[in-house]
């Protein structure tokens, strides 16, 4: 599994500029257009034409499998809600834009598309469920919080809240819904957030404070077995690399070096146990090796 994830990361890095650039700009702009046209026309004809409807999809309207992400704000009404809709769409765009710049265009496209496809499959199998992007857009917040757990959001423009805390609250609310609702509706949030867990894997632990992470690692640590990569001492690593390799720095996560990518900066993590090097894209986005 680790080899597959590493190969996938390298594939995304090699093709990071492929795909639809500024994907969230198009999605949020589409939502704004659908919302404004629905308000101006005082009906929801366009909304009902684009939203997810299993019956109509089986009749041949397959575009609904991919157009329902454009309808998430159409039912909020007019008036002062226009400001709320604009704020929500701006937040989604900002989060998606940051993640895309961090990952690259291709990986972010695959991240969002995989969430849409998994919800489509689930809702086509279970007629009582209707696909929506509420949880899919929540995965944007979770992704941002995993990358930047110490970032600060201001609720109501006043109350400062750390990103990791806000993400944990969302996950707790999802868990409560899973245990209090009936099947299959209770399983839908898990499917909608599956893309987040698939793309981040064990990195989801970054949502927890460092002290909590250390306690969890000690709790599940098994003596006699190493849970992480073998630690190579500095002098051995330096000698072997100088003897066999033609580079000075190599990222532990993606494998890029200062020879293959001279434009990158490389740093060594002081919190990892050992002498581990990371590129500028992963120095703040990796699981620390204990």
Per-residue model confidence as pLDDT tens digits over 239-276: 444 445 577 888 888 888 888 888 788 888 878 877 78
Name the more confident of 114 and 230: 114
pTM above 0.75, yes or no: no
**pLDDT, mean over the chain:** 80
Phi, psi for residue 5 in degrees, rounded to 5: -65, -40
Region 112-116 average pLDDT:
92
Say what the pLDDT of residue 285 is.
Answer: 78
Region 21-43 average pLDDT:
88
CB atoms within 10 A of CB 178: 15
Name the pLDDT band for 71 (thresholds 50, 70, 90).
confident
Element (H, E) at 278: strand 277-279
Q: What DSSP assignment string belongs to 43-73?
A: S-HHHHHHS--HHHHHTT-TTHHHHGGGGTT
Residue 218, class by beta-carbon neighbours within 10 Å (0-12 exposed, 13-18 middle, 19+ buried)? Answer: exposed
Domains identified in the chain and CATH numbers = 2-208 (1.20.1540.10), 219-290 (no CATH)
- Going by C-alpha positions, the residue among 203, 127, 136 that lies closest to residue 164 is 203
Range in 62-76, 156-170, 216-230 with the lowest mean pLDDT: 216-230
Region 127-138 average pLDDT:
81
Name the more confident of 238 and 266: 266
């Amino acid at each position: 599994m680790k080899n597959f994830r590493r190969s996938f990361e390298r594939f995304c890095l090699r093709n990071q500029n492929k795909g639809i650039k500024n994907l969230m700009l198009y999605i949020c702009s589409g939502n704004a257009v659908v919302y404004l046209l629905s308000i101006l026309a005082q009906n929801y004809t366009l909304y009902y034409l684009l939203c997810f409807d299993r019956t109509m999809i089986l009749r041949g309207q397959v575009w609904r499998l991919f157009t329902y992400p454009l309808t998430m704000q159409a039912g909020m009404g007019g008036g002062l809600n226009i400001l709320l809709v604009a704020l929500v769409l701006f937040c989604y765009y900002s989060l998606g834009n940051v993640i895309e710049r961090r990952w690259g265009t291709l990986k972010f496209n695959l991240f969002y598309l995989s969430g849409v496809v998994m919800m489509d499959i689930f809702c086509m199998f279970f007629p009582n469920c209707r696909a929506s992007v509420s949880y899919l857009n929540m995965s944007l917040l979770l992704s941002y919080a995993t990358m930047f757990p110490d970032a600060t959001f201001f609720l109501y423009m006043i109350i400062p809240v750390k990103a990791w805390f806000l993400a944990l609250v969302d996950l707790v609310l999802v868990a409560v819904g899973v245990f209090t609702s009936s099947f299959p509706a209770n399983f839908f949030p898990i499917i909608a957030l599956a893309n987040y867990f698939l793309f981040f894997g064990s990195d989801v632990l970054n949502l927890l404070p460092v002290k909590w992470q250390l306690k969890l690692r000690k709790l599940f640590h098994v003596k006699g077995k190493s849970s992480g990569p073998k630690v190579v001492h500095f002098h051995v690593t330096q000698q072997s690399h100088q003897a066999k390799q033609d580079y000075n720095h190599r990222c532990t996560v993606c494998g890029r070096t200062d020879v293959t990518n001279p434009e990158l900066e490389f740093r060594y993590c002081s919190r990892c146990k050992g002498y581990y090097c990371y590129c500028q894209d992963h120095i703040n986005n990796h699981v620390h090796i204990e």
